[in-house]
Chains A and B, each alone.
Chain A
């Protein structure tokens, strides 16, 4: 038969088809391409809580305050602020001569519109309103001055004004074009303006030279949505993206070894612990809980599984967090003592410890297995139950259906212990399905009313110590935020909270 000829022809066709691709390279001058995992679907600041939204939109919008990569709060669209009327009123002086991307002027009316919208009917439909409902209303004093009238004190408000729902939006544009149009054609005051959004594929922004902070060095910022970590890294290696945000620690060495790439590893907001069931199972007993804490070698886990990209924690917060107490140390790893404590508590050998966790978290899958290995060494019988995140977060945890332990990973972007502590330890809160401790409740409520920084910090530290004493969780680690970055990217100020701002960044 003459099929060999057909095959040859086929091979030839494939070869010709591929030939021009050898030179293909997506790196355009002046354009930075960032990969994030999830497409938030809407670019309206009040529609989402996703960090991935912020990774892109932080370039498009400004808040009244701003926070740089160093996590220090600084002026944004407001140049200064002062506390009035016994802290129940905050007065902001606004930056003058600022324009939105569509030419609309930024002024006090825009601030009022933004917050009326956030706190009103439109905000009700989205997740951001609840973060800001300590604000009663915003009053226009003059064109460049606004007052925030508070319903109750909110020490974290200034930080919260630097991002997410508090990003200032253009009143005329939204009123004219409508809410739906704004979702997919956003306009802000930030250093980059919207060009194109292709759902599930990418978002393209271009430089806004009239930005009050000066013209950005880059021409374009492209954000691509890639949900598989391996794919992000492959794209990074192929030079088709410049920044990868989804890198499980197992892939870190691969990035490190690539000649054209840098691995950036910095302290981030995400902390991970194994919460313990204080109502059922062997973990009901405080001494057993302490034994479990002592039985797991978190340093070994950080070294072997996180490859050093993390730090041990004693309470559920990172060292950047307000309320962190460097003097507080977790119970040390001591296998013999832990075994002895289990014996004293009359825990039988082979007692079950079930750990529920998010099945899609590649790093934690390994951490959980390592932790289970330590529990095995204690003579217990650990098992791991992976869940799809919505099920774990909406059903298993809030309804108290967990095993003896469950996976809690959280990164409050405000870096304030209150952000997590209240929801995890106050009775009746969603993330506290089992415990009810009046003393803890009281402390948590009290710190929310204190504006004095030192006093509040002291109370937060006290809460952390109290939680550690009661052994409500096995504190594990604060994991680093890691990025894979192409070496052609210059002046990249890596933010630990993944809220990029490419004002000074350039590419070669």
Chain B
């Protein structure tokens, strides 16, 4: 097992390194941060631009810039934002909790929605509640999420006036962003719960438990659901990456001060350190969660390890 974990750990490090290299290289392919900082205004000369490039350390060859970035990461220093000079680690320290909080809230809401719905659908397999749940959950998956978000703002903030349209303040500000994300997640999670429930329900011991006259609810929750939990948890772990991706757009509509906002602004401002920092940290999280899922899986099912 230790060997397996070590191997996966090495792979994870390799992946994060590759991600940093891709991002650092790609963002430098177009656009000049010095020009961005100058904003095109004023009587900017090439000398002024050179001065700024020098101050930002951009005149060094790419590999030097990249290596110094890596060196910084090792001691937790991601450099400073080109825009204003705030340390990137400070910016991330502000933004990461917001994004993670939103991500986990969305996951929780989605689980709270999809477990009862999925179980209910499985138990009523083929009857109308099953059909309704399946089709409705697909409807949720069929909207562009920014549109859904804007529609919700229109309804809850402007027409009803009960929720704040943007920002992260109290618990109420989580409702719409988390719901937007959760609706999309729920569509897949409901199916997952339903399928694994159906599988579990068809197994012998459940039938035995049922035939022994155990109450339906006890059988469902105590036996069946517990057994369906493993694939669900695995899948949710794997979802985390795409969840983070989706959050970028939701953060933008709801003006959520998270990693997506940070990264998006960094792309448009060609703020290399901020972009490298945010994407590295996000990748680290995704890789870590996948790693945990893998290890947990390896613990449960030894066959995986050999693969």
Contacting pair B31 A394 (CB below 8 A) = yes
Cβ of A131 under 8 Å from chain B: yes
Contact call B41/A234, Cβ cutoff below 8 A:
no
Kindly list chain B residues whose C-beta atoms are within 8 Å of the C-beta of A231: 153, 165-166, 253-255
A238 and B44 form a contact (CB under 8 A): no
Distance in Å: Cβ of B9 to nearest Cβ of chain A:
33
Among the listed stretches A14-22, A87-95, A277-285, A483-491, which one makes contact with chain B, having 4 or more residues with CB under 8 Å of it?
A: A14-22
Which residues 272-298 of B sit at the A interface, judged by CB distance below 8 A? none
B83-91, B195-203, B224-232: which lies at the interface:
B83-91
Tell me which residues across on chain B come within 8 A of A224, comparing CB atoms: 167
Q: Is there an interface contact between B36 and A390, defined as CB atoms closer than 8 Å? A: yes
Q: Is A198 an interface residue (CB 8 A)?
A: yes
- Interface residue B81 (Cβ < 8 Å from any Cβ of A): yes
What per-residue 1/0 map shows which CB atoms of A120-140 lie under 8 Å from chain B?
A: 000011111111010000000
A22 touches B42 (CB 8 A): no
A237 touches B158 (CB 8 A): yes
Q: Is the CB of A127 within 8 A of B39?
A: yes
Q: Within 8 Å of chain B (Cβ to Cβ): is A6?
A: yes
B241 at the interface (CB under 8 A from A): no
Q: Which residues of A contact B163 (CB under 8 A)?
A: 18, 21
Does A47 count as interface, using CB distance less than 8 angstroms?
Answer: yes
Chain B 100-154 interface residues, beta-carbon cutoff 8 Å to A:
112, 116, 119-120, 123-124, 150, 153-154
A75 at the interface (CB under 8 A from B): no
Whether A42 contacts B85 by the Cβ 8 Å rule is yes
Number of residues on chain B facing chain A (CB within 8 A): 65
Contact with B along A393-415 (1 / 0, CB 8 A): 11100000000000000001000
Question: Chain A: which residue is nearest B252 at the CB level?
Answer: A228
Chain A residues with CB under 8 A of B123: 1
Q: Would you call B211 an interface residue if the criterion is a C-beta within 8 Å of the partner chain's C-beta atoms? A: no
Q: Is the CB of A431 within 8 A of B40?
A: yes
Contact string against A for B residues 148-177, beta-carbon threshold 8 Å, 1 for contact and 0 otherwise:
001001100110011111111011100100
Residue of chain A at shortest CB distance from B174: A17
- Determine whether the beta carbon of B166 is less than 8 Å from that of A127: no
Residues of B186-212 at the interface with A, using a CB-CB cut-off of 8 Å, are: none
Q: Once the chains are docked, how many angstroms separate the CA of A226 from the CA of B165?
A: 11
Given the contacts A389-B268, A393-B40, A124 and B254 also touching, CB distance less than 8 Å: no
A18 touches B41 (CB 8 A): no
Instruction: Give every chain A residue within 8 A of B255 (Cβ-Cβ).
Output: 225-228, 231
Interface 9-mer from B13-21, B48-56, B68-76: B48-56
Decide if B84 touches A391 in the complex (CB within 8 Å): no
- Least CB distance from B189 to A in Å reads 16
B253 and A49: CB pair below 8 A? no
B37 close to chain A: CB less than 8 A: yes
Interchain CB contact (< 8 A) of B39 among A49, A180, A184 = A49
Task: Report how many residues on chain A are interfacial, defined by Cβ distance under 8 Å.
Answer: 65
| Known contacts A183-B86, A391-B30, A394-B35; A226 and B166 CB within 8 A of each other | yes
Q: Is the interface of B mostly helix, strand, loop or mixed?
A: helix
Given A7-B116, A199-B86, A394-B32: A130 and B48 interface contact (C-beta under 8 Å) = yes
Binary interface encoding of chain A residues 11-46 relative to chain B, with 1 for a CB under 8 A from any of its CBs, else 0: 000000110011010100000000000111110100
A177 on interface, CB distance cutoff 8 Å? no
Residues of chain A with a CB closer than 8 A to B164's CB: 24, 26, 235, 238, 240
Docked pose: A317 CA to B123 CA in angstroms: 71
| Alpha-carbon separation in the docked complex, A6 to B81 (Å) | 48
B182 at the interface (CB under 8 A from A): no
Which chain A positions have C-beta within 8 A of B51?
124-125, 129
A200 near B265: Cβ-Cβ < 8 Å: yes
Are A198's CB and B94's CB within 8 A?
A: yes
Report which of B153, B168, B175 forms a contact with A18, defined as CB distance below 8 A: B175
Contact B116 A183 (CB under 8 A): no
Most buried by A among B41, B153, B253: B41
What sequence of 0s and 1s flags, for each residue 45-69 of chain B, a beta carbon within 8 Å of any chain A beta carbon? 1001001100110000000000000
Whether the pair A238, B217 counts as a contact (CB closer than 8 A) is: no
Find out whether the CB atom of A130 lies under 8 angstroms from the CB atom of B40: no
**Contacting residue for B162 out of A21, A201, A230, A394, CB 8 A:** A21
A235-B166 in contact (CB<8A): yes
Chain B residues near A128 (CB, 8 Å)? 42
Interface centre among A3, A39, A226 (most CB of B within 10 A): A3
With A1-B123, A200-B95, A393-B35 as given contacts, are A238 and B165 in contact (CB-CB < 8 Å)?
yes
Please measure, in the bound complex, the distance between the C-alpha atom of A10 and the C-alpha atom of B35, giving whole angstroms.
53
Contact partners of A18 in chain B: CB under 8 A: 162-163, 172, 175
Contact of B257 among A200, A419, A430 (CB under 8 A): A200
A505 sits at the interface (CB 8 A):
no
Verify if B242 is at the interface (C-beta below 8 Å from A). Answer: no
Cross-chain contact B84 with A131 (CB below 8 angstroms): no
| Contact pick for B157, options A50, A238, A394, CB 8 Å | A238
Which of A38, A49, A226, A391 interacts with B38 by CB under 8 Å? Answer: A49
Shortest distance in angstroms between A12's beta carbon and chain B's nearest beta carbon? Answer: 13
Which A residues lie within 8 Å of B83 (CB)? Answer: 40-42, 48
Closest Cβ of chain B: how far from A23's Cβ, in Å?
10
Q: Are B44 and A430 in contact (CB under 8 A)?
A: yes
Docked complex: A203-251 residues within 8 A CB-CB of B: 224-228, 230-231, 234-235, 237-238, 240
Beta-carbon nearest neighbor of B35 in chain A = A394
Residues of B within 8 A of A6 (CB): 116
CB pair B161 A200 closer than 8 Å: no
A239: shortest Cβ distance to chain B, in Å? 9
Q: Hey, what's the 0/1 contact readout for A165-202 against B, CB within 8 Å counting as 1?
A: 00000000000000110011000000000000011110
Does the CB pair B85–A183 fall under 8 Å? Answer: yes
B43 beta carbon closer than 8 Å to chain A: yes
8 contacts between A and B (CB under 8 A): A1-B220, A7-B116, A41-B86, A42-B86, A47-B84, A127-B42, A228-B166, A390-B30
- Which 5 residue pairs across A and B have the least CB separation, nearest first? A41-B84, A42-B84, A234-B165, A125-B55, A41-B83
Extra contacts, 5 of them, besides A124-B55, A201-B94 (Cβ < 8 A), are A6-B116, A21-B170, A129-B48, A201-B168, A390-B268
Interface positions of B (Cβ within 8 A of A): 30-32, 35-45, 48, 51-52, 55-56, 81, 83-86, 90-91, 94-95, 112, 116, 119-120, 123-124, 150, 153-154, 157-158, 161-168, 170-172, 175, 216-217, 220, 252-255, 257, 261-262, 265, 268-270
